[in-house]
Amino acid sequence: MRNKGIFIIGVMSAMALLAGCSTSGSKEDLTKYVDVKIGSGGHGHVFVGASVPFGAVQLGPTSIPQTWDWCSGYHESDSTVIGFSHTHLSGTGIGDLFDITLMPVTGEVTYARGVEADPASGLWSYADRSREVAKPGYYSVPLTRYGITAEMTSTCRVGLSRYTFPASEEAAVVIDLENGGCWDSAYNTSIEAVGDKAVQGFRFSSGWAKNQKIFFYAEFSEPFESFEVIPVKERTFAGQTNPINYGRASFKTADGDQVMVKVAISPVSVENARRNLEAELPGWDFEAVVSDAAEAWNAELSKVKIQTPDADMRTVFYTALYHTMIVPSTFCDVDSESIDYTTYSLWDTYRAEMPLMTVLHPEREADMVNTMIRICDDQGRLPVWHLMGNETDCMVGNPGIIAVADAVVKEVPGIDKDKAWEALKTTAMGDDRGQDLRKQYGYIPSDLFNQSVAYDMEYAIADGAMAAAAEFLGKTEDAAYFKERSHSYRYYMDKETLQARGRLADGSWRTPFNPYNSSHEVTDYCEGTAWQYTWLVPQDYEGLLEFYGSKEFFLERLDSLFLADSTLEGDNVSSDITGLIGQYVHGNEPSHHIIYFYTRAGKPGKAADLVRQVYDEFYQNNTEGLAGNEDAGQMSAWFVLSSLGFYEPEPASTRFWFGAPAFEKAEVKVPGGILRIEAEGLDSTNKYIREVTLNGKKLDRGYIEYSEIMAGGDLVYKMGPEPVCWY
Ligand SMILES: [Ca+2]
Ligand SMILES: [Ca+2]
């Protein structure tokens, strides 16, 4: 457990370990502050293995159990390894991928995933976790069954592995094209040798991504003695029956002999995979690739340099920053016409991960948004949860709208505003996923549609984002139309229970009603209860004030959310509801903006207390340090932004509201230079902001503008012991 409190400034403070606050030219290794295993226990579901920022390859171990807590292929509690796969999800609540899985072995093996109770049932081995090394861009672990040490590193599109074998006449590298992630199954595979040092092929699978295609080209450092294709079964898909294969490249090894293999992947073709390999990794210098990967991480991590005496907090911060850069992942070849990304967990990431991109990676944000617009060209609407060329339609609402509109109002360079607006409007005017009912009734009737309140309220947030984008683009009529539509949530706001409550087509309320009830995927809500959904209105603060009748009563009810009993009732309570303070649920996304309502309502001290409570309880320096799924960067992005002292709670807004700066100093690299943040006097007593200055001038508001952040300069929080409102 992390020491309570971020302000324990003991004897260490004199020698306060600076993680930067750089002087020019300092080349500090920030990767040493990243513990990639934070969130690999509990329900964090983070990826553990080697990758580069936003890379196409996430190369790491995959275990036998592939139930919910193994969505990333890895769980702290389990050391079985079926092989090292070249793609993994990070932090998601559903599993897929684990494509192109390599396993170094000795002797004859059974070509199957196998079960832990019977080692002969598969080729899996235990990993010796006591000797595991896991850091940004590098992973290594000994496999106890074979006496082989597996090491791996990566470029963007090529995974490089190095296996150290014992003496064996029957050493081999098995390429497993059968096993994929969790509920995925391969429906067509191909593998063939090219000469005596290379193999190529593909793996097509159906799972969360209904039709996922991945091609590969692999080269070994040594010629293999023989190469064998092992068909294990056939699968029928779309009327065609195809083979499911393993490949085995065999070697004779003396003790300590090393075999390296590089595997390039492509979403397009074997030929493109080969070109990716030639372009990114022509040589065999393993150490150089490890050091390049670390350097790539350092380049991104050094965009934020913090100064804090709290070593745990520093590790939590840089690990969070690292976790915001696993996905969205690259989804194009080196010579592709456009830079495309995938793994868009947008219901999660529109809230903080995508806004963080607009601050730290505006150039990537443009490519990410342009990819989303291309997806809209392709499927007729912006992505909801896009995975490897497939729309999974996972989760509720139209979250792609919010991310695109956010980039529009912030004028992120490199985005065609007309094209963006066209995609936004087409998506917002769609009839799919309950939008037809919403048009007909003004809200989604709860007797006609599952998770009605959740769908509608998320659509209303997207409408708020539409109104903001329309207004920014001077489209007055559209702005008025979407603003009106963004009020649809008001149909659910029940004066009697003071909660967002399901409403039927005839206008009557959902009865019986229990705001503590959760039944996963079968109530009016999605992964939550009425308590959280009542506050899922980041787009209409004024409307909430109107509903409660006064700011005092609004605040009283907001307090009640954090004071309510944390009980959850129901037969099948959603496991996503974790990290509770009262009925505030930090472990899941619908709550993420709520604390910042206090700042909005002139109570920044309350926001500060709660934000600090969240830091202490739900971001800890241990494997179970995250409260719920990491969710493709969202949980981490909340921390990264909040710890700098501000957060963007409103959809498609340029306002970042103040909360609780976690560090004495921070420097953020922005296009305009450096934003130097100082929390003057911050300690365990002086934990409240009493005044904010920007470039020496007092700010008489509770937020900083996006343009002010991006211009760089000096942002000073003057801290004090009393909660006050300075605006
Ligand atoms: Ca798949
Ligand atoms: Ca979640």
How confident is the model over 93-102, as pLDDT tens digits?
Answer: 999 999 999 9
User: What was the pLDDT predicted at 6?
Assistant: 40
- Contact by Cβ (8 Å): 266, 216: yes
Query: Cα(394)–Cα(344) distance, rounded to whole angstroms?
Result: 10
- CA 314, CA 28: separation in Å to the nearest integer? 14
Q: Which ligand is nearest to the CA of 586?
A: 2
Confidence of residue 26 (pLDDT cuts 50, 70, 90): low
**Ligand nearest, relative to CA of residue 92:** 2
**Binning pLDDT at 50, 70 and 90, where does residue 316 land?**
very high
- Ligand nearest 85 Cα, by number? 1
Residue 453 tokens, joined? 């309140």
User: Which ligand has its closest atom nearest to the C-alpha of 177?
Assistant: 1
CA 571 to each of CA 365, 434, 516, 575: distance values in angstroms, whole numbers, following the listed order: 41, 26, 12, 12
Question: What is the model's pLDDT at position 555?
Answer: 98
Q: How does residue 7 score in pLDDT terms, banded at 50, 70 and 90? A: very low
> What pLDDT was estimated at residue 23?
38
| CA pair distance 211, 201, nearest whole angstrom | 17
Confidence tier at 19 by pLDDT (50, 70, 90): very low
Characterize the bridge pairing of strands 713-720 and 673-680.
parallel
Tell me which H or E stretch contains 101.
Answer: strand 101-106
Beta bridge pairs of residue 103: 174
The span from the CA of 424 to the CA of 653, in Å, is 16
Mean pLDDT of 617-622: 98
Between CA 559 and CA 598 the distance in angstroms is 9
* Distance of CA 188 from the midpoint of ligand 2 (Å): 32
Alpha helices in 180-285 (DSSP H): 270-280
pLDDT, one tens digit per residue, over 205-247 is 999 999 999 999 999 999 999 999 999 999 999 999 999 999 9
Centroid of ligand 1 to alpha carbon of 352 (angstroms): 27
Centre of ligand 2 from the C-alpha of residue 183, in Å: 19
Q: Among 645, 155, 667, which Cα is nearest to 360's?
A: 667
629: CA distance to ligand 2 center in Å? 5
CA of 205 to the centre of ligand 1 (A): 5
Q: What tokens appear for 218 in the block?
A: 């692999």
H helix count then E strand count, the chain: 18, 35
Mean pLDDT, the chain, whole residue set: 95
Contact 689, 719 (CB under 8 A): yes
Decide if 64 contacts 113 (C-beta within 8 A): yes
Angle at 337 between CA 361 and CA 198, to 5 degrees: 100
Asked whether residue 16 carries a pLDDT value surpassing 80, the answer given is: no
What sign results for the dihedral spanned by CA atoms 701, 691, 606, 618? positive
Which numbered ligand comes closest to the C-alpha of 390? 1
In the reported structure, the alpha carbon of residue 185 is separated from the centroid of ligand 1 by a whole-number distance in angstroms of 7
Q: How far is the CA of 660 from the centre of ligand 2 (A)?
A: 23
pLDDT one-digit tens code per residue, 420-459: 999 999 999 999 999 999 999 999 999 999 999 999 999 9
For range 468-480, the mean pLDDT: 98
CB 91 within 8 A of CB 630: yes
The predicted pLDDT at position 18 comes to: 38
Q: Which residue has the tokens 């211009």?
A: 711
Amino acid letter at 613?
Q
- What does the alpha-carbon distance between residue 548 and residue 508 come to, in Å, rounded to a whole number? 21
In whole angstroms, give the CA distance from residue 695 to residue 182. Answer: 52
Q: In Å, what is the CA distance from 415 to each residue of 247, 368, 408?
A: 44, 10, 8
**Average pLDDT of 645-672?**
98
- For ligand 1, the distance from its centroid to the CA atom of residue 424, given in whole angstroms, is 29
**Digit-coded pLDDT (tens) for 374-425:** 999 999 999 999 999 999 999 999 999 999 999 999 999 999 999 999 999 9
Cα–Cα distance, 298 to 29 (Å, whole number): 7
Pick the ligand that lies closest to the CA of residue 183.
1
CA triple 145-146-150, angle to 5 deg: 110
- Give the predicted TM-score (pTM) of the model: 0.96
Tokens standing for 174? 């098995």
What is the C-alpha radius of gyration for the chain, rounded to an integer number of angstroms? 26
Strand partners, 150: 141, 163
Ligand showing the shortest atom-to-Cα distance for residue 592: 2
pLDDT (tens digit, 9 = 90+) per residue, 522-576? 899 999 999 999 999 999 999 999 999 999 999 999 999 999 999 999 989 999 9
State the distance from the centre of ligand 1 to the C-alpha of 213, rounded, in angstroms.
8
Q: Residue 719 — φ and ψ, nearest 5°?
A: -95, 150
Residues with CB under 5 A from ligand 2 (ion): 576, 588, 629, 631
For the cut 70, the answer to whether the pLDDT of residue 292 exceeds it is yes
Nearest-ligand number for the alpha carbon of 585:
2
Provide the sign of the torsion angle of the four alpha carbons 554, 555, 558, 564, taken in this order: negative
Counting ligands in written order, the one closest to the CA of 97 is: 1
pLDDT band at 17 (very low <50, low <70, confident <90, very high): very low
Position 46 confidence tier, pLDDT thresholds 50, 70, 90? very high
Is the pLDDT at 44 greater than 80? The verdict is yes
Residue 44 CA: which ligand is closest?
2
Ligand closest to the CA atom of residue 634: 2
Domains and CATH numbers, the chain: 1-33+306-332+633-727 (3.30.2080.10), 37-268 (2.70.98.10), 333-632 (1.20.1610.10)
Q: How far is the CA of 142 from the centre of ligand 1 (A)?
A: 27
Q: What is the distance in A from the centroid of ligand 1 to the CA of 180?
A: 6
Instruction: State the pLDDT confidence band at 697, using cuts at 50, 70 and 90.
Output: very high
Rounded to an integer, the average pLDDT of 122-135 is 98
Distance 39 CA to ligand 2 centre (A): 13
First to last CA, the chain: 37
